[in-house]
Structure 1
Amino acid sequence: MSEKQAVMTNDSETEIKRAFSLSRDERTAVREFFDGLCIEKEKPEAVIFFCSPDYDTVKLEKELNRQFGDIPLIGCTTAGEITPEGYHAGSITGAVLSRTHFTCVSKRYDMISNFNIQDGIEFGRSLKQQLNRVADNASGSNSFAFMLIDGLSGAEERVTASLGSELGEINLIGGSTADDFKLKQTQIFHDGRFHTDSAVVVMVHTDLPFQVSYTHHYVASDAKAVITEADPITREVLEINGLPATREYARLCGVEEKDLDIVVASKHPIMVKVGGTYFSRGVMGINHQNQSIKFACAIDKGVVCSIARPDDPKQNLEKLFRDMENEIGPLALVIGCDCAARKMNFQIQGILDDMSQIYAANNVIGFASFGEQFNSLHMNNSFSCVAIGSKARAHD
């Protein structure tokens, strides 16, 4: 086994194989990744992977098809990869879903930036029909949906709201694809090719216990704000509390306007209350010239929100995994979408290695995302995931 390749196994009833490669050469990386997954004679149901945007995706696409053949592959570019060792950059990582425990169907929607609500209803209905054809007992207790969506499309709210609603009792989690912080092009792999301006949803039916969840380590502070001028299409906020957005947001964050930057904003996302629960909305850009703020989620005029203050991210994450393990038993695999702004803050605070160890200890495979989805909601500065247990349930 190469020193740049790793496969992790579990001592529990069910082993879900995970692997990664740190090689910067596309051919070597794919070979090491494939070898690490130890794919044997039986064709897997699917392989989910996450890769650095530094790879040449034309070359990577060719090597993935050459190495994996007709094995279904779903993946995307990232702002950092969560591997069996925790966070890495410049890598490819993923996991195998075996036919023994999983049945999967997938569907892609292209030109996602033009997506409307009716599209979501039809898309969701088609996905459920596909799943029911291969698993006629599919329900929210034995099936979940995992979505990858172009993180530069601006379509996440429309897609998540309509799709999550149509899927009903079947829980949805997902992540917005990334390209580090270049903000130029993100890509999703499906049906043997990399695609842009797309979304892919995988419906997963399994006899293993699972739990879909999300968390963030922010607490709503006493600092309140009303969005008084905004463009939800471009996700730009122009005024807060009737004042220029950058001036008032800086005051609420406790800094001078000239010192307001993406690092300060990442520590103080705004919190919006939905159904009694606070969800975070993160900043993607600050325009000091016109005093506007661009968010990674759409925010409408009139929204009342709170300015967040960070809590302990390590305790928050450890509690999430502990709670999930108490619910479904030992975790064989966690597929996770972790906000890129969280990762940036972990680096700034010097705790990225600590967070990586927590991810590694809980068998997480995933990526740093430009946004996270949970059922019908799109959000930022959060971690959304599906945890899969290791002991098969009795068949329905």
Structure 2
Amino acid sequence: MNMNITPPGLAHSGKARRRNRPETVEVGLSYAGDASQAVAEATANLSPPAACFMLVFVPDHLDPRDVAAEFASQLPQTTIFGCSTAGQITSQGYENSALFVIAFPKKHFRCSSALFKPLKPISIEKTANQARTLSTRFRPTANWKRVALVFADGLSKQEDLLVSALEAGLGNVPVFGGSAGHGLAFDETFVLHGGEAHTNAGLLLLLETDLDFCGLGFDHFVPTSTRMVVTRAVPEERLVLEINGAPAAREYARCVGRSIDELSPKIFAENPVLVRNGNSWHVRAIQQVEEGGGLWFLSAIDDGLVLTLGQGTEILSMLDSGLGQASTSGREPDFILGFDCFLRKLEIELNGLVDDASQILKKHNVLGFNTYGEQHLGVHVNQTFVGVAFYPPVSGGGLD
């Protein structure tokens, strides 16, 4: 079970307060099945001229290419970023069919961006240099702070290398983000940049803000005594062929007390494997069974890697307490930009806990999407909630 909070360095305190809606960003959504109508509805009550940029999270029933084209047509002067998703986290909690838009105002945010395409194959040195150049050319504003957001093709299998390269290039700028999804289809994912939807691409947003913020990341698993060793793998494909010298799917099924035929996203979500990194444990989520009896993973794997079977704790209490860690010095976040793994949402759905989880997300003002993987301070992880909590502005803050 990981609980990582990046200290916000808050210099101001005030009376704790809860809001139904954030005061520093605007939100809009639509459930329309047509991209043109969905974009029009989702942005109808927003203020495009006041926006530094908009983040757009696309549901799986809309084609991201159509959505990107409609934003370019309907709001040609507005900068749009975003991605396809495996679910959305709106002001109502978990959703599956909402085109969700968050408008970040110029008053509190500045940004610069870079698109890495093609993402596969990735050059770590070139990517780090591009990030370093972006940061250098993005002139700082006095007394404002920086945070980086990354959105990547969730099927590229390059996120581990991408986030490591970005961290190297950006130095002390913290990096958070999520991998784009497409429901549970695992066929094609997109990031939105420059009026288009791109596959096999990664998107870096370098944000500058006068708002205090802190990063957070947590899961709800603890290690058990069951160990497994990867004895044959194809690392570049995140494919494990053998565990403990036996066919991977068969051996994993044995370890969790199931047959191969019973293996499913539900079983993978409830029985993750963990990898130890110092004093922390990170989930290496299994995506699905390969036709030949191997296992496709959603994070980096390699020959000789020791996997530890994880055991879940109470997911809702961990969600509430994990999000509650963002309340610091008597201040509640104005909103939390959240990147929540689709496997966490799947577990919640299969256990009939969506309404309860949504109430917790609403209480903590979480806005974001469900991912195929999460980026947390230079590490690509799975089955984890990663977020950035932004705090209300202090008196006199913002740019006029």
Provide Cα deviations, 1:288-343, integer angstroms capped at 9, x if missing partner: x5221110112111111210111111111111221101258222121111111111
TM superposition shift of 1:11: 7.8
Corresponding position of 2:132: 125
Provide Cα deviations, 1:106-141, integer angstroms capped at 9, x if missing partner: 11111001112112221221221133x243666xxx
TM superposition shift of 1:56: 3.2
1:27 to 36, 46, 70: 36
Distance 1:119 1:53 in 2: 32
1:235 to 224, 231, 238: 238
TM superposition shift of 1:13: 9.4
The alignment's C-alpha RMSD in Å is 2.1
Q: 8 Å contact 2:20–2:362 — kept in the other structure?
A: no
CA distance 1:110–1:31, change in 2 (3 Å)? same
TM superposition shift of 1:244: 1.8
Aligned AA for 1:34? T
Total equivalences in the alignment: 381
Distance 1:191 1:163 in 2: 20
Give runs of aligned pairs for residues 291-330 of structure 1, distance below 5 A. Answer: 291-326=293-328, 329-330=331-332
Corresponding position of 2:359: 357
Equivalent position SS for 2:125: helix
1:174 to 172, 177, 186: 177
Distance 2:141 2:235 in 1: 39
Provide Cα deviations, 1:150-196, integer angstroms capped at 9, x if missing partner: 01111111101111232222111111101112222111111111111
CA distance 1:12–1:251, change in 2 (3 Å)? closer
Equivalent position SS for 1:152: coil
Aligned AA for 2:345? K
Structure 1 stretch displaced more, 324-333 or 110-119: 324-333
Higher relative contact order (CA 8 A, sep 6+): 2
Aligned AA for 1:385? G
Distance 2:395 2:93 in 1: 29
Equivalent position SS for 2:83: strand
Answering whether residue 153 of structure 2 is matched by residue 150 of structure 1, we say: yes
Corresponding position of 2:141: 135
Corresponding position of 1:268: 271
Corresponding position of 2:100: 93
Distance 1:328 1:20 in 2: 31
CA distance 1:327–1:201, change in 2 (3 Å)? farther
TM superposition shift of 1:269: 1.2
Corresponding position of 2:4: none
Corresponding position of 1:4: none
Corresponding position of 2:12: none
2:379 to 371, 377, 380: 377
CA distance 1:135–1:86, change in 2 (3 Å)? same
CA distance 1:170–1:255, change in 2 (3 Å)? same
Distance 2:61 2:21 in 1: 36
Answering whether residue 204 of structure 2 is matched by residue 201 of structure 1, we say: yes
Distance 1:222 1:330 in 2: 38
Distance 1:197 1:393 in 2: 43
Corresponding position of 2:8: none
Answering whether residue 340 of structure 2 is matched by residue 338 of structure 1, we say: yes
Answering whether residue 257 of structure 2 is matched by residue 254 of structure 1, we say: yes
CA distance 1:317–1:257, change in 2 (3 Å)? same
Structure 1 segments unaligned to the other structure (5+ residues): 1-8
Aligned AA for 1:330? E
Q: 8 Å contact 1:328–1:389 — kept in the other structure?
A: no
Equivalent position SS for 2:197: strand
Aligned AA for 1:95? I
Aligned AA for 2:319? L
Distance 1:305 1:327 in 2: 38
Q: TM-score, normalised by structure 2?
A: 0.90
Corresponding position of 2:225: 222
Q: 8 Å contact 1:236–1:295 — kept in the other structure?
A: yes
Aligned AA for 2:26? K
1:64 to 52, 64, 71: 71
Structure 2 segments unaligned to the other structure (5+ residues): 1-17
Q: TM-score, normalised by structure 1?
A: 0.91
Corresponding position of 1:16: 25
Distance 2:354 2:19 in 1: 24
